[in-house]
Structure 1
């Protein structure tokens, strides 16, 4: 029997970009901000003076993003029953393509190269499920969209929401249980 497939976003889902933005901001300006600044605010507008865009063009930014808590173990678990594809928009920021590839090789070496999709528009992805933190990707998902919580999407209510990787594991355990019935 063919496994069902899951597309998993990188930034904000596997990689904790909010923490990275805050770390870079503190290094640059000497002020420590909290994740609350992202609450119901577009990511690009959360930090003053357009600094997020500056960080996105800084060498090493994508390469050194911290991994989301529980992501590695959860993806390994999901991989037992599902075909996992890492799908990331990596064309807008020139350094991100190579840095994201290296980041995945370090943190998710068990994901094969042919299960990594770097693209500009995720509407072409045709998987049974998609886990992403942006509705612009989920609204066109051909399978079941799953919204991974982030500050910028706090008020979104029209997709199934997971707040962390533990909840992702629970959701898919329930999906497997329903499929067996």
Structure 2
């Protein structure tokens, strides 16, 4: 059975939306995802603000209530019928996130289980046939087939097969 490794943040979880909300709240800004997609200047200003104040990523509770990407639950369930599915997250960068991500997975993807969840610092040691991830740094050294999941921070990358929705993931694998 072929193996698919799936990232969490900005692949299963809509983490960018929560980050935008936190930057707006902490810096009294009014960014929204649609505007950031349309304007490189606005996106640059947002990233500067994000770099200025992103401590929330290390605070307890940040990773607990992130929204699930549309259709992700249904498609991952279907993938499990044809593939061995692992959730792979570089959660060790944010120590508070590890427990919170396990709780989040249990709430939204209880059919995955802890046995198919991998928390790591770097994903270069992950062995799978496919990796669906939003960060090029994780795809560049991957030995299987890398799939780039579209996110605000990777729209300039054109070196990988790209999916932008879980319906597209479904069309690619099912």
TM-score when scaled to structure 1?
A: 0.86
Q: Distance in 2 between matches of 1:85 and 1:125?
A: 10
Q: What RMSD, in angstroms, separates the aligned Cα atoms of the two structures?
A: 2.1
Change in CA separation of 1:49 and 1:160 when aligned onto 2, cut-off 3 Å? closer
Whether 1:164 aligns to 2:162 is: no
Q: Distance in 2 between matches of 1:136 and 1:49?
A: 20
**Stretches (4+) displaced over 3 A:** 36-43
Q: Distance in 1 between matches of 2:156 and 2:91?
A: 26
Whether 1:55 aligns to 2:53 is: no
Whether 1:15 aligns to 2:13 is: yes
Q: Distance in 2 between matches of 1:158 and 1:64?
A: 32
How big is each residue's C-alpha offset from its partner over 1:117-171, in whole Å with a ceiling of 9 and x where there is no partner?
0000100001000000011001111111000001111011111000110000001
Change in CA separation of 1:94 and 1:105 when aligned onto 2, cut-off 3 Å? same
Deviation (angstroms), 1:49: 5.7
Q: Distance in 1 between matches of 2:25 and 2:59?
A: 13
SS in 2 for 1:137: helix
Q: Distance in 1 between matches of 2:19 and 2:56?
A: 7
Deviation (angstroms), 1:25: 2.5
Contact 1:147 1:161 in 2 (8 A): yes
Q: Distance in 1 between matches of 2:92 and 2:110?
A: 22
**Number of residues of Structure 1 aligned to a counterpart in Structure 2:** 170
Per the alignment, residue 139 of structure 1 pairs with 140
Q: Distance in 2 between matches of 1:40 and 1:117?
A: 34
Q: Which of 46-55 and 72-81 deviates more?
A: 46-55
TM-score when scaled to structure 2?
A: 0.90
Change in CA separation of 1:57 and 1:83 when aligned onto 2, cut-off 3 Å? same
